[in-house]
């Protein structure tokens, strides 16, 4: 057992840290890994695009991809380190990650022509992707999706609706899961398509969230014609694309834990610098106790993440472990936000636009934004089901 | 809305408090409600004595009809008594009280006259024969057979977790008289000295052998000991579950005593030159439990009031049971942490603190979320038709 990184890995980490020190503004508070900040605020979105181009210029998008498609064929650990640093510093991450994920799908399921067409623009940071999965009646029960794709001579015609599509209003393309055969069992009649969001028939409506940031959309498909060469993988085999995503996704929970470290340090710093009744908050035994508890959990999270990554590198199945981290991460951010709001007292409720706001309203944002963090991208409950069935081998209910 | 007790109720409360003070040793640390701690050797004689004394005062079955030895007093009076007994941790209140309630509701005249007066005099102890190895939360899965013969029923099978059965004279036994799962249970009053009954005490992790496996090998039970109608045992079962309302309440009153002991300990004990009671973290944790206990007490007052008004109490009883068990477990945990390494010491260690009560409650409170109806089934009641009306899965 060895908990160290190699010299080469440490050197790369430093390279990323230096890059971020330059690329991020000095007082950068950080955005969350679910993309809900930068996909909602125009200014942050532009910054996201800029960051993506800079990362692409360093050759850091699609690190693990074959060189012929714009990748670097770098080891998994390098990708892990890059991701860890970006998320820890709260650099915009969601959109580039969604694109990479879809790129991975294309690498695994796509034709040669699709790989050549779609991967290089992603590696160059030129294109933003959205994920068309959930529908009003298909969330945790994704297989219940209804959006229809009817095959015609030269294309598929899509009709229906997706919802909760983060950043769709800024995206160029979307991967859309649609029903191509309503006559077989629901998992067996799904196909995955790459859809140009500028296609005629695509309309969007942004959905405001309680943070005040409308980060995601309902996307309506009305007779949208999708060329047959945009079908990903085999017709009616789209569910295996989704499953591939689940099997390889290295845990939203891990991202949350990593990002939480930054917010936690912010809170600790605040407690060190702020005096109440003549004493720094950091000297208050109850506050210390609560901060220490979070520190322990964040450290646990960090180690879980290392282990998860090591397992992935070794090619071990990681679904159950990734699902373990998901509720752990979501719950931790909520506890952190709760504690932060309490420590800040009445200031904790102030928006960053108030002149009295502390930490530029970061705790208030986190308090409201973290409500979604036990639900989005796979709920805590669904994750625990996977831990129970895949992890512990318990029978399905 | 009125949160006060009447003068009469307050006077009775004082009477009970005086009685308790006179009957118990001055340094009495208390035992948990229920028969479990009676199985401690040093507690049993006191339990028998207290049960008899309560009978002498006429305080057993306060609300029961006078013709059976009761006082026809108000439910408030009875609750006041039971709460004070739970709060002071008085041993002796027997399961017989709940069983007499079943007799009053489902028994024949003869059964009432025969069984209830000895209970009111504190002369006899009862046990409950409900659970079996394969029938716990799923009570209707009971398998112990009762076959009707000419002049009696013959019982064969086994019961488990029967608290205090080794001390009891009678056991209320839920048996299967018909294969229909829900409509095939009958209830019997069984004399535990009958031929064919053997028992094996089970020791809990507290170290107390508080309950028993009870084996029935061709036990002949007279027909007149059938309680209620044959195969209509489900009615008695449901009634018995309703009676569990008091269990959660007792746990909370019991917890109040433990908390006060812990608070006193914190006031009197200094660590690193400062009383524990001045430590902000400890204050914070004690305050949290105090809040939860206060919430529980108020839930209890409302629950009692509902009972006096004839309002259905299944949901509220379930709520208070879940809440009470959770508080007791958190309090036990907190106490053990505050006591530090002294916490795990047994009561016969010369270094023990608080008479080892917190070690005891740490081990015994585990069962509070399981015994007498698990917290999970209680939550099912709250979610289901008794409470939120959510559909069964």
* Residue A105 and residue A135 in one domain: no
- pLDDT for A199 equals 97
- pLDDT for B369 equals 86
Q: Find the closest chain B residue to A397 by CA distance.
A: B393
Q: Find the closest chain B residue to A283 by CA distance.
A: B280
- pLDDT for A351 equals 86
* Residue A260 and residue A379 in one domain: yes
- pLDDT for B307 equals 85
Tokens encoding A316: 């071990």
pLDDT at B392 over 90: no
* Residue B101 and residue B213 in one domain: no
Q: Which residues of B touch A285 (CB under 8 A)?
A: 279-281
Q: Which residues of A touch B288 (CB under 8 A)?
A: none
Is the CB of B284 less than 8 angstroms away from the CB of A284? no
* Residue B204 and residue B302 in one domain: no
Chain B closest-CA separation from residue A118 CA (Å): 46
Chain B closest-CA separation from residue A285 CA (Å): 7
Contact B63, B71 (CB under 8 A): yes
B180 located within any domain: yes
CA distances from B102 to B67, B105, B240, B242, B336 (A): 16, 5, 7, 11, 39
B391 located within any domain: no
* Residue B72 and residue B139 in one domain: no
* Residue A159 and residue A269 in one domain: no
pLDDT at B243 over 80: no
Tokens encoding A185: 């069992």
Q: Which residues of A touch B (CB under 8 A)?
A: 284-286, 289
Answer whether B279 touches A (CB < 8 Å).
yes
Q: Could you tell me which residues come within 8 angstroms of residue B393 by beta carbon, excluding any fewer than 6 positions away?
A: none
A279 located within any domain: yes
Answer whether B272 touches A (CB < 8 Å).
no
What is the CATH classification number for the domain harbouring B51?
A: 1.10.540.10
Q: Which residues of B touch A289 (CB under 8 A)?
A: 281
Instruction: Count Cα neighbours of B42 within 13 Å in the Cβ-side half-sphere.
Output: 6
* Residue B301 and residue B364 in one domain: yes
Q: Which of B102, B120, B111 is CA-nearest to residue B173?
A: B102
What is the CATH classification number for the domain harbouring A22?
A: 1.10.540.10
Is the CB of A286 less than 8 angstroms away from the CB of B284? yes
B392 located within any domain: no
What is the CATH classification number for the domain harbouring B356?
A: 1.20.140.10
Query: Which residues pair with residue B218 across a beta bridge?
Result: none
Span B47-74, mean pLDDT? 96
- pLDDT for B101 equals 93
* Residue A30 and residue A164 in one domain: no
A192 located within any domain: yes
Answer whether B302 touches A (CB < 8 Å).
no
* pLDDT, greater one: B243 or B281: B281
Domain count across chain A: 3
* Residue B142 and residue B271 in one domain: no
Q: Find the closest chain B residue to A287 by CA distance.
A: B281
- pLDDT for A378 equals 87
* Contact pairs from chain A to chain B, CB under 8 Å: 8
B107 located within any domain: yes
* Residue A40 and residue A119 in one domain: yes
CA distances from B318 to A363, B59, B243, B325 (A): 38, 27, 11, 11
A177 located within any domain: yes
The phi, psi pair for B170, rounded to 5°, reads -125, 155
The last residue of one of the domains, among A97, A127, A157, is: A127
Look over chain A and give the mean of its residue pLDDT values, rounded to a whole number: 94
The last residue of one of the domains, among B196, B231, B266, is: B231
Q: Which of B335, B321, B320 is CA-nearest to residue B257?
A: B335
Q: What SS3 string covers chain A?
A: CCCCCCHHHHHHHHHHHHHHHHHCCCCCCCCCCCCCCCCCCHHHHHHHHHHHHHHHHCCCCCCCCCHHHCCCCCCHHHHHHHHHHHHHCCCCCHHHHHHHHHHHHHHHHCCHHHHHHHHHHHHCCCCCEEEECCECCECCCHHHCCCEEEECCCEEEEEEEEEEEECHHHCCEEEEEEECCCCCCHHHHEEEEEEECCCCCEEEEEECCCCCCCCEEEEEEEEEEEEHHHEECCCCEHHHHHHHHHHHCCCHHHHHHHHHHHHHHHHHHHHHHCEECCEEHHHCHHHHHHHHHHHHHHHHHHHHHHHHHHHHHCCCCCHHHHHHHHHHHHHHHHHHHHHHHHHCHHHHHCCCCCCCCCHHHHHHHHHHHHHHHHCCCCCHHHHHHHHHHHHCCCCCC
Tokens encoding A96: 């580039």
Separation between Cα atoms, residue B188 and residue B172, nearest integer Å = 6
Tokens encoding B189: 């009053």
Q: Find the closest chain A residue to B284 by CA distance.
A: A286
* Residue B305 and residue B319 in one domain: yes
pLDDT tens digits, one per residue of B102-150: 999 999 999 999 999 999 999 999 999 999 999 998 999 999 999 999 9
> Which DSSP letter does residue B35 get?
S
Q: Which of A231, A203, A200 is CA-nearest to residue A218?
A: A203
pLDDT tens digits, one per residue of B4-47: 888 999 999 999 999 999 999 999 999 998 899 999 999 999 99
B223 located within any domain: yes
The phi, psi pair for A140, rounded to 5°, reads -60, -35
pLDDT at A275 over 70: yes
Q: Find the closest chain A residue to B278 by CA distance.
A: A285
* Residue B266 and residue B367 in one domain: yes
Chain A closest-CA separation from residue B376 CA (Å): 17
Span B215-227, mean pLDDT? 98
Is the CB of B281 less than 8 angstroms away from the CB of A285? yes
Look over chain B and give the mean of its residue pLDDT values, rounded to a whole number: 93
* Residue A227 and residue A287 in one domain: no
Give the rounded percent of residues in chain B with a pLDDT score beyond 70: 99
Separation of CA A338 from chain center: 22
* Residue B115 and residue B146 in one domain: no
Q: Which residues of A touch B281 (CB under 8 A)?
A: 285-286, 289
Q: Which residues of B touch A286 (CB under 8 A)?
A: 280-281, 284
Lowest mean pLDDT of A70-84, B160-174, B282-296, B300-314, name the range: B300-314
pLDDT tens digits, one per residue of A312-367: 899 899 999 999 999 999 999 999 999 999 999 999 999 888 999 999 999 999 99
Span A94-106, mean pLDDT? 94
What is the CATH classification number for the domain harbouring A312?
A: 1.20.140.10
A35 located within any domain: yes
Chain B closest-CA separation from residue A89 CA (Å): 33
* Residue B158 and residue B49 in one domain: no
* Residue A99 and residue A83 in one domain: yes
Span B85-113, mean pLDDT? 95
Considering all CA atoms of chain B, what is the largest pairwise distance in Å, rounded to the nearest integer? 77
Separation between Cα atoms, residue A217 and residue A199, nearest integer Å = 17
Q: Which residue range is the domain that position B60 belongs to?
A: 7-120
As a dihedral over the C-alpha atoms of residue A92, residue A98, residue A101, residue A105, rounded to 10 degrees, the angle is -160
* Residue A223 and residue A277 in one domain: no
What is the CATH classification number for the domain harbouring B218?
A: 2.40.110.10
Pick among B276, B278, B284, B288 to test the A interface (most A CBs inside 10 A): B284
- pLDDT for A28 equals 93
* Residue A25 and residue A78 in one domain: yes
Answer whether B389 touches A (CB < 8 Å).
no
- pLDDT for A251 equals 79
pLDDT at A224 over 70: yes
Q: Which residues of A touch B279 (CB under 8 A)?
A: 285
pLDDT at B349 over 90: yes
Contact A283, A343 (CB under 8 A): no
* Residue A197 and residue A235 in one domain: yes
Q: Which residue range is the domain that position A272 belongs to?
A: 249-391
Q: Which residues of A touch B284 (CB under 8 A)?
A: 286
* Residue A254 and residue A337 in one domain: yes
Pick among A281, A285, A396 to test the B interface (most B CBs inside 10 A): A285
The last residue of one of the domains, among A110, A127, A144, is: A127
Is the CB of A284 less than 8 angstroms away from the CB of B279? no
Separation between Cα atoms, residue B99 and residue B76, nearest integer Å = 20
* Residue A91 and residue A142 in one domain: no
- A119 pLDDT band (50/70/90 cuts)? very high
Answer whether B281 touches A (CB < 8 Å).
yes
Span A387-392, mean pLDDT? 91
Q: Are strands A173-179 and A129-132 parallel, antiparallel or unpaired?
A: parallel
Contact B142, B158 (CB under 8 A): no
Q: Which residues of B touch A284 (CB under 8 A)?
A: 280
* Residue B92 and residue B188 in one domain: no
Give the rounded percent of residues in chain B with a pLDDT score beyond 90: 78
Pick among A283, A289, A339, A342 to test the B interface (most B CBs inside 10 A): A289
Domain count across chain B: 3
């Amino acid at each position: 057992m060895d908990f160290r990184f190699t010299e080469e890995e440490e050197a790369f980490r430093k390279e990323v840290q230096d890059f971020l020190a330059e690329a991020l503004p000095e007082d950068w508070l950080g955005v969350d890994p679910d993309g809900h900040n930068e996909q909602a605020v125009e200014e942050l979105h532009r910054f996201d695009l800029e960051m993506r181009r800079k990362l692409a210029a360093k050759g850091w998008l699609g690190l693990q991809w074959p060189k012929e498609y714009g990748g670097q064929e770098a080891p998994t650990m390098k990708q892990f380190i890059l991701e860890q640093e970006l998320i820890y510093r709260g650099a915009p991450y969601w959109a580039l990650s969604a694109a990479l994920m879809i790129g991975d799908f294309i690498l695994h399921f796509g034709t040669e022509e699709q790989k050549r067409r779609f991967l290089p623009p992603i590696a160059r940071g030129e294109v933003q992707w959205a994920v068309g999965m959930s529908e009003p009646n298909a969330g945790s029960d994704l297989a219940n999706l209804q959006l229809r794709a009817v095959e015609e001579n030269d294309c598929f015609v899509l009709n229906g609706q997706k919802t909760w599509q983060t950043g769709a209003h800024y995206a160029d393309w979307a991967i859309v899961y649609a029903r191509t055969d309503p006559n077989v069992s629901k998992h067996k009649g799904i196909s995955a398509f790459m859809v140009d969001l500028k296609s005629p028939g695509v309309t969007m409506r942004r959905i405001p969230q309680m943070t005040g940031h409308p980060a995601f959309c309902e996307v309506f498909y009305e007779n949208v014609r999708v060329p047959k060469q945009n079908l990903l993988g085999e017709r009616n085999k789209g569910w295996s694309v989704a499953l591939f995503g689940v099997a390889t996704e290295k845990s939203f929970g891990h991202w949350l834990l990593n990002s939480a470290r930054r917010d936690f340090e912010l809170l600790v710093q605040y407690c060190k610098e702020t005096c109440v009744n003549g004493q720094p908050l950091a000297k208050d035994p109850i506050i210390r106790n609560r901060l220490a508890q979070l520190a322990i959990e964040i450290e646990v999270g960090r180690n879980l993440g290392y282990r998860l990554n090591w397992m992935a590198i070794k090619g071990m199945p990681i679904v159950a472990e990734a699902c373990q981290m998901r509720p752990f991460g979501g719950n931790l951010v909520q506890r952190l936000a709760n504690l932060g709001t309490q420590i800040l007292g009445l200031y904790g409720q102030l928006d960053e636009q108030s002149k009295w706001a502390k930490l530029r309203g970061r705790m208030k944002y986190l308090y409201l934004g973290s409500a979604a963090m036990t639900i989005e991208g796979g709920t805590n409950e669904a994750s625990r089901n996977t831990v129970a069935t895949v992890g512990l081998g318990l029978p399905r209910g | 809305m009125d949160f006060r007790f009447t003068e009469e109720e307050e006077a009775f409360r004082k009477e009970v408090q005086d009685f308790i003070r006179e009957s118990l040793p001055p340094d009495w640390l208390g035992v948990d409600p229920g028969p479990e701690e009676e199985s401690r050797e040093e507690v049993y004689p006191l339990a028998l004595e207290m049960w008899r004394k309560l009978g002498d005062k006429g305080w057993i079955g306060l609300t029961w009809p006078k013709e059976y030895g009761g006082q026809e007093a108000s439910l408030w009076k009875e609750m006041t008594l039971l709460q004070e007994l739970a709060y002071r941790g008085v041993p002796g209140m027997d399961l017989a009280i709940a069983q007499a309630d079943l007799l009053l509701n489902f028994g024949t005249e003869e059964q009432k006259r025969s069984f209830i007066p000895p209970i009111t005099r504190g002369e006899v102890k009862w046990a409950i024969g409900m659970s079996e190895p394969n029938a716990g939360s799923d009570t209707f899965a009971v398998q112990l057979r009762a076959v009707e013969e000419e002049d009696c029923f013959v019982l064969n099978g086994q019961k488990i977790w029967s608290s205090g059965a080794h001390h009891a004279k009678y056991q209320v036994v839920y048996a299967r008289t018909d294969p229909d799962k829900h409509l095939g249970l009958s209830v019997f009053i069984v004399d535990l000295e009958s031929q064919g009954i053997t028992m094996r005490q089970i020791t809990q992790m507290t170290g107390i052998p508080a309950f028993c496996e009870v084996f029935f090998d061709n036990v002949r039970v007279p027909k007149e000991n059938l309680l209620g109608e044959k195969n209509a045992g489900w009615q008695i079962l449901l009634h018995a579950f309703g009676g569990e309302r008091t269990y959660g309440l007792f746990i909370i009153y019991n917890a109040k005593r433990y908390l006060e002991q812990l608070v006193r300990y914190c006031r009197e004990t200094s660590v690193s030159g400062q009383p524990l009671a001045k430590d902000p973290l400890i204050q914070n944790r004690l305050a949290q439990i105090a809040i939860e206990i206060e919430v529980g007490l108020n839930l209890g007052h409302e629950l009692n009031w509902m009972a006096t008004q004839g309002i259905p109490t299944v949901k509220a009883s379930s709520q208070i049971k879940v809440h009470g068990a959770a508080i007791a477990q958190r309090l036990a945990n907190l106490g053990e942490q505050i006591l530090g390494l002294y916490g795990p010491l047994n009561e016969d260690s010369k270094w023990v603190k608080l008479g080892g009560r917190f070690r005891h409650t740490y081990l015994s409170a585990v069962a509070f979320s399981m015994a007498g109806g698990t917290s999970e089934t209680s939550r099912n009641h709250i979610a289901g038709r008794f409470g939120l009306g959510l559909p069964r899965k």
